[in-house]
Amino acid sequence: MIESLALNNKSEKTDYNILNLGPTHPATHGVFQNILKMDGEIIHETTSTIGYIHRAFEKIAEHKPFYQITTLTDRLNYCSSPINNMGWHMTVEKLLGVETPKRVDYMRVIIMEFARIADHLVCNSIIGADTGALTGFTYVFQWREKIYDIFEEVCGARLTTNIGRIGGMERDFSPACMKKMHDFLNDFPKYFDEFTMLLERNRIFMERNIGVGPISAERALNYGFTGPNLRAAGVDYDVRVMNPYSSYQDFDFMIPLGTQGDTYDRFVVRQHEIRESLKIIKQALNNIPEGKFFADVPDFFLPPKEEVYNNMEALIFHFKIVMGEATVPVGEVYHSVEGGNGELGFYMVSDGGRTPYRLHFRRPCFISYQAYPEMIKGSMLSDAILTMSSMNVIAGELDA
Amino acid sequence: MVQIDNQYILTELQDKFGERIYNSYEPYGLLTIELDKNSIKEVLQFLYDHKELQMQFLTDVCGIHYPQVFGKELGVVYHVHSLINNVRIRIKCFMPIENPSIDSATFLFSSANWQERETFDFYGINFIGHPNLKRILNADEMDYFPMRKEYPLEDGTRTDKDDSYFGR
């Protein structure tokens, strides 16, 4: 009490405590270190250290053929790997000038929106867990598992999916996969409503989150925020709408917006985005056109195995693709997709060789996390934890 | 209301900066200019303040290394976006590899802070006026800039792997 009075009097204080939060603190959900200069329980200054899981993806990418880079993108934001995979495929397709069939676009949209739901579910339920409401976390995590079951049905993997190929999808949706998707769409909303009732209008949860870690729209833009974090501050920038890719212009959906840019707004924006994603998936499943599930790019899209064994051309293409000997045009391309946390961009310079000459990932987490010290300045330590989980900082995307 | 397209942006920039824009092209529809590195601050400010363009969102900053281009070995690539008009521009500034330096964009964009630190970390480009230019992803003790092309992906002294069959 005496200390807080002293703070109000604006008297010069000299004895700060230094608190080392991380790198392996259980409350930070990832490998982040923050050295906090504390005045009692009030944060005065923060120094962030990142790079604990830096894996030199950009250097590795300069030495890998295009199809092998997909596995690197998995490990950026590992909560929604399919979005990263698709973003990379689309970047290469843009470089090659490949036009994908509508069916591919719709399949991709379905997969990407499922990934977005999984990503937002993790983030929002973690906010609940960090405020002490662990129930919501256990409620929705089984639905994340069910989304992973769908991914497993499509590509065989769950977390780091390596889903799809340059030019299309590796296989069409199987009947089992379609059934899982429809089951999810039928059953999930009920449980999600329950989750919503548990937290969204819960007085305790609201009191705990409103006004925590706010950022104004101007500062958010200046800090390069994108995605839900920017939209919570009230700026309606969504890559899916502004620069539609993969036929997003065909779907009817809203961009949820917040006003305060605080933890509660970020939570609510993500809640509503989950509902919008469900809408998009429904539209895509209802209107999915018949046709091929891959584009005509024999240099990049692996031929079916039966043909590889029985057909000379298919064998040659298979060999060329696996060895990474396909030729690409010289050029440079920037392509961005709306990832779970914002604009995930790929800037690629190609010199016509088997690997990119330079590949840079624009990672939304890396760019928005630098606002963290400013956002938590003057707040309590426990608010800092909440702010971090509501920004959905993923260590893999931070460090690349 | 003027039609905001690549041609308009280029004309505006050329009217203002003339000879300092060395080159311009449009790979995949994205206007790209090569700029005198000493003008980067002015150009970013001009694009930011321009009444029609309002290019106020710095999407991306990254480095690039062309070891064989003498005198312009290292480059910094900026992607600037106008959220109002939905147009992007890519600005490239090249500099020699001896004492590479360029003005920092942090005076205008807070988001440039870490991105420039990352570029410094990997390419060794000094950003003049940066508030805290030190390594960000690599260890502080590192004494080289690993994304430069002369550094191989793996330790070149390894003998237990023969990659020659794989074109590496």
pLDDT digits (tens, 9 = 90+) for A235-286: 999 999 999 999 999 999 999 999 999 999 999 999 999 999 999 999 999 9
Give CA angle at B163 (B157, B168), nearest 5°: 95
Q: Is B115 on the interface with A (CB under 8 A)?
A: yes
pLDDT number for residue B156: 59
* Strand bridging mode B57-65 / B74-82: antiparallel
- Helix or strand (DSSP H, E) at B49: helix B40-49
Interface test with A, best of B31, B56, B62 (most A CBs within 10 A): B62
Residue A87 and residue A78: Cα distance in Å, rounded? 14
pLDDT band at A31 (very low <50, low <70, confident <90, very high): confident
Residue A236 and residue B64: Cα distance in Å, rounded? 32
Q: Is the pLDDT of residue A132 over 80?
A: yes
Contact A334 B111 (CB under 8 A): no
Residue of B nearest to A346 (CA): B60
Q: How far is A207 from chain B (nearest CA, A)?
A: 31
Q: Is the pLDDT of residue A4 over 50?
A: no
Burial class (CB in 10 A: 0-12, 13-18, 19+), A57: buried
- What are the boundaries of each domain within chain A? 57-292+326-399
Residue B22 and residue B2: Cα distance in Å, rounded? 26
Q: Is B133 on the interface with A (CB under 8 A)?
A: no
**ipTM summary value:** 0.91
Q: How far is B6 from chain A (nearest CA, A)?
A: 16
Choice between A253 and A4, residue whose per-residue pLDDT is larger: A253
Query: The tokens 């088997």 sit on which residue?
Result: A354
Please state the domain count of chain B: 1
Choice between A274 and B165, residue whose per-residue pLDDT is larger: A274
Pick B153's closest partner by Cβ from A60, A324, A336.
Answer: A60
Choice between A2 and A289, residue whose per-residue pLDDT is larger: A289
Give CA angle at A250 (A302, B52), nearest 5°: 105
* Strand bridging mode B101-103 / B126-128: parallel
Q: Is B25 on the interface with A (CB under 8 A)?
A: no
- Helix or strand (DSSP H, E) at B142: none
Q: How far is B62 from chain A (nearest CA, A)?
A: 7
Query: Mapped to the 3 state alphabet, what secondary structure does A17-38 carry?
Result: EEEEECCCCHHHCCCCEEEEEE
pLDDT number for residue A26: 80
Q: Is B118 on the interface with A (CB under 8 A)?
A: yes
Contact B57 A56 (CB under 8 A): no
The closest of A377, A123, A118, A79 to A268, measured between CA atoms, is A123
Q: How far is A317 from chain B (nearest CA, A)?
A: 17
Q: What percent of chain B is predicted at pLDDT more than 70?
A: 91
Choice between B113 and A327, residue whose per-residue pLDDT is larger: B113
Mean predicted lDDT score pLDDT of chain B? 90
Find the DSSP H helices in chain A.
2-8, 57-61, 66-74, 81-96, 102-130, 134-155, 175-199, 203-209, 217-222, 227-232, 239-242, 263-287, 305-310, 312-323, 364-368, 372-376, 381-391, 395-399
DSSP structural state of residue A240: H
pLDDT band at A22 (very low <50, low <70, confident <90, very high): confident
Burial class (CB in 10 A: 0-12, 13-18, 19+), A78: middle
pLDDT number for residue B152: 82
Tell me whether residue B31 is in a domain: yes
pLDDT band at A123 (very low <50, low <70, confident <90, very high): very high
Q: Is the pLDDT of residue A6 over 80?
A: no
Q: Is the pLDDT of residue B93 over 50?
A: yes
Residue of A nearest to B166 (CA): A323
What count of CB pairs under 8 Å joins A to B? 94
Q: How far is A50 from chain B (nearest CA, A)?
A: 6
Chain A hits for B140, Cβ within 8 Å = none
pLDDT number for residue A268: 95
Q: How far is A370 from chain B (nearest CA, A)?
A: 7
Interface test with A, best of B48, B55, B118 (most A CBs within 10 A): B118
Q: Is the pLDDT of residue A9 over 90?
A: no
Tell me whether residue B163 is in a domain: no
Q: Is the pLDDT of residue B135 over 70?
A: yes
> By the 8 A CB rule, do A340 and A239 touch?
no
Residue A362 and residue B77: Cα distance in Å, rounded? 12
Question: In the CATH scheme, what is the homologous superfamily, with its name and number, of domain A57-292+326-399?
Answer: Cytochrome-c3 Hydrogenase, chain B (1.10.645.10)
Query: The tokens 């930070």 sit on which residue?
Result: A28
pLDDT band at B111 (very low <50, low <70, confident <90, very high): very high
- State mean pLDDT over B3-20: 90
- Boundaries of domain holding B100: 6-153
Contact B110 A219 (CB under 8 A): yes
Q: Is the pLDDT of residue A221 over 70?
A: yes
Mean predicted lDDT score pLDDT of chain A? 91
Q: Is the pLDDT of residue A10 over 80?
A: no
* Strand bridging mode B101-103 / A42-49: unpaired
Contact B59 A235 (CB under 8 A): no
Tell me whether residue B158 is in a domain: no
Choice between B153 and A69, residue whose per-residue pLDDT is larger: A69
Interface test with B, best of A367, A372, A374 (most B CBs within 10 A): A367
Tell me whether residue B112 is in a domain: yes
Q: What is the pTM of this model?
A: 0.92
Chain B hits for A76, Cβ within 8 Å = none
- State mean pLDDT over B19-48: 93
Q: Is the pLDDT of residue B168 over 60?
A: no
- State mean pLDDT over B76-92: 94
B31-57 as b/e, with b when 16 or more CB fall inside 10 Å? bbbbbebebbbebbebbbebeebbbbb
pLDDT digits (tens, 9 = 90+) for A137-183: 888 999 999 999 999 999 999 999 999 999 999 899 999 999 999 99
Tell me whether residue B162 is in a domain: no
Residue A54 and residue A49: Cα distance in Å, rounded? 12
CA distances from A214 to A49, A151, A204, A378 (A): 22, 35, 18, 11
Pick B62's closest partner by Cβ from A94, A323, A347.
Answer: A347
Residue of B nearest to A360 (CA): B62
Residue B64 and residue B43: Cα distance in Å, rounded? 20
Residue A360 and residue A58: Cα distance in Å, rounded? 6
Q: What is the CATH number of the domain that holds B64?
A: 3.30.460.80
Query: Mapped to the 3 state alphabet, what secondary structure does A71-122 carry?
Result: HHHHCCCCCCHHHHHHHHHHHHHHHHCCCCCHHHHHHHHHHHHHHHHHHHHH
Residue B108 and residue A25: Cα distance in Å, rounded? 34
Q: What percent of chain B is predicted at pLDDT more than 90?
A: 76
Chain B hits for A333, Cβ within 8 Å = 27-28, 30
Of A5-9, B85-89, B163-167, which one has max mean pLDDT?
B85-89
Residue of A nearest to B121 (CA): A51
pLDDT band at A124 (very low <50, low <70, confident <90, very high): very high
Residue A223 and residue A366: Cα distance in Å, rounded? 11
The distance of Cα B136 from the centroid of its chain, to the nearest Å, equals: 17
Residue A88 and residue A95: Cα distance in Å, rounded? 11
Sequence-distant (≥ 6) Cβ neighbours of residue A160 within 8 angstroms: A71, A74, A75, A78, A81
pLDDT digits (tens, 9 = 90+) for A293-313: 999 998 899 999 999 999 999
Residue of B nearest to A399 (CA): B137
- State mean pLDDT over A17-36: 86
Pick A59's closest partner by Cβ from B90, B146, B168.
Answer: B146
pLDDT number for residue A136: 87
Q: Is the pLDDT of residue A337 over 70?
A: yes
- State mean pLDDT over A372-396: 91
